[in-house]
Amino acid sequence: MSENSKIKNAKTEAKTEAPEPVKDNDQVTIETGAEGDVADQIVKQINGDGEGVPPIPEELSLLPLRDTVIFPVLVAPIAVGRDNSVKLVDEAVAGGNRIIAVSAMRDSSVENPTAKDIYPIGVAVVVRMMAKSTDGIRMIVQGVSRIQIQQVLEEEPYLKARVKVIDPIPVAPEDAVEIEALRRSIGDLFRKIVQLSAQMPDELTSLTTSVDDPGVMTDLVAAHMPVEAAAKQEILEKIDLKERMTALLTIMTKELQVLELGSKLQSQVSSEMGKTQRDYYLREQLKAIQKELGEGDERGEELDELRKKIEAAGLPEDALKEANRELDRLQRMSPGAPEYTTARSYVDWMAALPWAISTPDNLDIPEVKKVLDSDHYGLEKVKDRILEYLSVRKFKSEGDLRQPILCLVGPPGVGKTSLGKSIAKAMGKKFVRISLGGVHDESEIRGHRRTYIGALPGQIIQGLKRAETNNPLFMLDEIDKVNSDFRGDPSSALLEVLDPEQNTTFRDNYLDVNFDLSKVLFVTTANMLDTIQPALRDRMEIIELSGYTEEEKVEIAKRHLIPKQVGEHGLTAEQLRFTEDGVKAVVRGYTREAGVRNLEREMATICRKATRAFAEGRTEPVVVDKARVEEYLGSPRFEYEEIAERTEQPGVVTGLVWTPVGGDVVFIEASRMNGGHGLQLTGQLGDVMKESAQTALSYVRAHAAALGVKPDFYEKSDLHIHVPAGGVPKDGPSAGVTMTSAIASLLSGRPIKPALAMTGEVTLSGKVLPVGGIKEKVLAARRAGIKTVILPERNRKDLMEDIPAELRKDMTFIFAKNVQDVIDNALQPMDAKLKGKGKDKKNGHAKLKTSESAPPSPDAVANVPYNA
């Protein structure tokens, strides 16, 4: 059946089944059935065949109409049910005056309309026929002319108003052509609307051809348009014919576009329904054929179940097309075919992935902060970043929001992985973790193509399937330990995964369709950044987690490590209790690390020994104080006196270094022997560190007199510089000041000051350049009991930004601009009487200890120590 036939049939049904007017006590309704008869009456009236119209009085009874607009010349049936409206019609007809005024209501919900509730422009109508029934009055009226309501004279028992007839404005001769063009356009559009609208009978198409007057035709077309009453009222209030026709043409154009779009959509739906019915019929036939072949219904039920899973998975259009194609292929394939298992596995994966399943995020910022603080002590930077992200999510509820891709960089044991779990728990997300350590196959990320036996999707897609949601927190652990070989570079494959501009269309080799990863919150961890590919590092937001201070370790032990180990060893807090001194003794004497893993192991050792004591019959609680720690763990492995002992003789200086597992202290030793022009370097030093030693020696030779060294020392002596722990590779320029100080101390015979360490790069001209890792180095110095630290002047800002004030308060920091500042502040004075004095006669100024309220001026002498 064609589309036009469908519309005509619908119109015929609409015409033959037109409902009767329904009575409503407080409503005036218009019944617009029998359009063919009405059209004939209209034509007769226009041609002068109808009854004559009496003159319109100045005062008329006013009948409000609900959701209805009457136009001049329009013949329309009206059902009147409201009591005051019935009385209005009765008195008007009984008085011999069949003309009344009608006007549309502004708000159809008003029960008892007054003068302010109706439009000021209405129509005077003449009552042609009237019949009473049990539910009110039914009558047929015909519009006479437009009127303007000038004043409402009465409101009870019904409205009565003074009106003024609005005469039509004559058409100017110069507008005649334009009026004719508008009339033809309205006629053409109206015929198209009648053809497309199922509610308008085809007889109305003759309305525009039977009426010659453009003003009358405009009013009649406007009256029969299926638009809201407000739009019709707008046409009624246009007195100028050209403006009225233009406004009507605009409304008709919009309505025609709506009808054409609706017809197109209906055609598409009908076509889809036809295709669905055809597929169903063919599928039923296929089931019957399979049954005849003896394949049974079990396989058919299995495939139907797969089809239902695919339909319920919410796949995107391209993925759905690929899944249905593979499922159709599977349906035609024999279960014994070699490719049957591969195709079945692929369809199972497509149906199992969370294409449209998301979990709501917890956007209660104080609650999230409370959870993060309860799980981890410190780590403020990463906590603040998560809270900032959730704050943005809370206020940006619409549109796409780019997920942050965080990279937590820090030494082992600082809580990077456990922090990811804590973030997922606080945000209400599912947690997925994969370890990238040692991964060297690109297929681990992108998956294998289905042509390979045993092919599977990559770890990213597998993780999302395990999470059963498309917005989990996905942790990529140890991203700095990814390797590459002949099987590909996993780091390059991760570029697409960790790029917000690309991961919306991530394409796994196994699925071979796009999967949107933009809703996944990726968190990566690393111990160092140097081994991460630069392009990959650029895609991540780096958050550095430095080592813990002694105070933080004590607090972490009390809050987390001790309760955890006590519980794991079957004890209670009443049976095993740690004192403050006991915890500090473990931290200071048995661990010297950036993280807390070794600290947890020592706590576990204490708990094991306490458990054994209870197992052997002990009944009294165990109080772990300093003495008990030494009893259980033995003598302390680290002591502060080590630095004083090793640096008490000239030529030994304590340096600060950065390692992937945090900061550390090293001792650089210089020795002198008979010979000439010789420099020996040991300790498995790298090229940069060897060059720093050469630079240090050259500077001392060039400034021997100023340093109190004999100028000819190099002619008669060989020098040997050694960095202990020779099994550990060492490199970098930051030991320059340390080597220079060691050589100067050796040759001048001036020992280094006690509890002092330094770091900084030295140039040949004696400048001290800034170095990295200041926070890690300062924390290492603090752990080792260092009280004075010499830093490059240009690292002052790093110290102030990265080291909290409470950690600086019991340490002295000296900022050096050149080597002479380092020598003057690091080496003990030549005169023994000056040792321990606050006055250094060589450089002529006192060492100051400044308070927080009065920090030193930036213009002060560079080697003035800073004590925060």
Tokens representing 257?
């576009």
Residue that has been written with the tokens 């549109």 in this structure: 399
Tell me whether residue 657 is annotated as binding. no
777 assigned to active site? yes
CA distance 153 to 160: 5
Q: How many residues does the chain have?
A: 868
> What's the rounded Cα separation, in Å, for the pair 693 and 360?
59
Distance (Å, whole) CA 701 – CA 709: 9
Residues 6+ apart with CB under 8 A from 259: 193, 196, 197
Annotated binding-site residue? 416? yes
Got the DSSP string for 480-530?
Answer: GG---BTTB-HHHHHHHHT-TTTGGGEE-TTT-SEE--TT-EEEEEES-ST
C-alpha span between 664 and 667 (Å, rounded): 10
Q: State yes or no: 804 annotated in a binding site.
A: no
Of 160, 383, 429, 777, which residue is the catalytic one? 777
Catalytic residue among 197, 491, 692, 734: 734
* DSSP secondary structure, 612-662, as one string: HHHHTT--SPEEE-HHHHHHHH-S-S--THHHHHHTSSTTEEEEEEEETTE
Contact call for residues 351 and 323 (beta carbons, < 8 A): yes
Residue 654 to residue 735: CA distance in whole angstroms: 10
Secondary structure letter of residue 680 according to DSSP: E
Q: Which amino acid is at 233?
A: Q
173 annotated among ligand-binding-site residues:
no
| Residue 582, both tokens | 């006991």
Residue 414 CB-half CA count within 13 A: 26
The angle at the Cα of 236, spanning 230 to 242, to the nearest 5 degrees, equals 120
DSSP H or E segment with residue 263? helix 241-292
Q: Is 366 annotated as a binding residue?
A: no
Give backbone dihedrals phi and psi of 94, rounded to 5 degrees, phi first.
Answer: -65, -30
413 is in an annotated binding site: yes
Q: Is 770 annotated as a binding residue?
A: no
The DSSP line for 18-41 is PPPP---TT-EEE----HHHHHHH
Give Cβ neighbours of residue 150 (< 8 Å, ≥ 6 apart).
161, 162, 163, 164
414 is in an annotated binding site: yes
User: Half-sphere exposure of residue 221, counting CA atoms within 13 Å on the CB side?
Assistant: 38
Other CB atoms closer than 10 Å to residue 402's CB: what's the count?
10
DSSP label at residue 206: G
Q: How far apart are CA 819 and CA 692, in angstroms?
A: 13
Task: Identify whether 734 is a catalytic site residue.
Answer: yes
Distance CA 527, CA 182 (A): 78
Nearest to 425 by CA among 368, 465, 475, 378: 368
**Burial of 264 (C-beta count, 10 Å sphere; 0-12/13-18/19+):** exposed
Residues known to be catalytic = 734, 777
Binding-site residue ranges for ATP? 410-417
Binding-site residue ranges? 410-417
